[in-house]
Amino acid sequence: MSPGTLVPWKSSPLLRRALTVTAKWPNPETPAIAAEARRRMVQEQLRARGIRDERVLAAMAKVPREEFADTESVTSAYGDYPLPIAAGQTVSQPYIVASMLEVLAISPWDRVLEIGTGTGYEAAIVGELAAEVWTVERVPELARTAQEILARLGYRNVRVIERDGSLGLPENAPFPKILVAAAAPAVPQSLIDQLAEGGSLVIPVGSRVEQQLHLIRKLNGEAVTSHRELCRFVPLVGQEGWVS
Ligand code: SAH
């Protein structure tokens, strides 16, 4: 269906019924409702705000966000906001996930390092875009749950590692693409060191309250930084992040 043919929420019988279908108590219509909610999310939150990378849009239209977050209803998993998860953390708003991934320009043959697995939602999207994903999480409970969900959904190219990701993953470096989903006071030197020549690193840098996305490219051994949009992430806690 083309963008112009979207009906308002209230005139879609499927979406009206969706309000009563919870993620916890799935019914036979859940997959159709989730697919419709994803299609609208891609149209209204991503395309409408300028996300153009068709591979990113297709991955966002495919990965079932409701499997990762425990929301009231299936459709609220696709709202235009971050979602609270265990251990006081959040899953990023869909637009922020898409915009970070668009900036990274991941190729199908890339190996990607993600710091801050959280639920594993973003790692699954990256799993759709890249050959191999290494995702690092410091909270054991989150790492374990993400691992289980990713395995259940069949993401065999995504590995979850439990440790302080502010130090990266030196044993598997260098990485052509690095993505940090938590806010740092400054760009960790370990991550710059582990970036491959010609590679890109996206990371929110700033205070604990507000940050700006930084895109760092390694060109002839030198890190070249450009500044993108303002954002708000939970803190990167670790040796090369915040103390607590
Ligand atoms: N991308 C995630 C959301 C990330 S929220 C998703 O799609 O669900 C940020 C995550 O970074 C939190 O889970 C937090 O525990 C984790 N984190 C914070 N500091 C970290 C560190 N030093 N190493 C690894 N993970 C860290």
Residue 165 CB burial class (10 angstroms; 0-12, 13-18, ≥19): buried
Query: Which ligand 1 atom sits nearest the alpha carbon of residue 241?
Result: 22
Same domain, 60 and 177: no
221: left (phi over 0), alpha (psi -120 to 50) or beta: left
The answer to whether the CB of 150 is under 6 A from ligand 1 is no
Task: Give residue for tokens 């891609």.
Answer: 42
* Residue-level pLDDT, tens digit, the chain, 244 residues: 444 455 555 566 666 666 555 555 567 888 899 999 999 999 999 999 999 999 999 999 999 999 998 888 888 999 999 999 988 899 999 999 999 999 999 999 999 999 999 999 999 999 999 999 999 999 999 999 999 999 999 999 999 999 999 999 999 999 999 999 999 999 999 999 999 999 999 999 999 999 999 999 999 999 999 999 999 999 999 999 999 8
What is the Cα–Cα distance from 113 to 207, expressed in whole angstroms? 23
Structural domain of 140: 86-231
Task: Find out whether 64 and 34 touch, Cβ atoms under 8 Å.
Answer: yes
Same domain, 48 and 97: no
For the record, the structure tokens of 84 come out as 């609270």
- Which residues have a catalytic role annotated? 92
DSSP state of 187: -
Question: Which of 48, 83, 118 finishes a domain?
Answer: 83
Same domain, 38 and 97: no
Inside any domain, residue 243:
no
The answer to whether the CB of 191 is under 6 A from ligand 1 is no
Amino acid in position 109? W
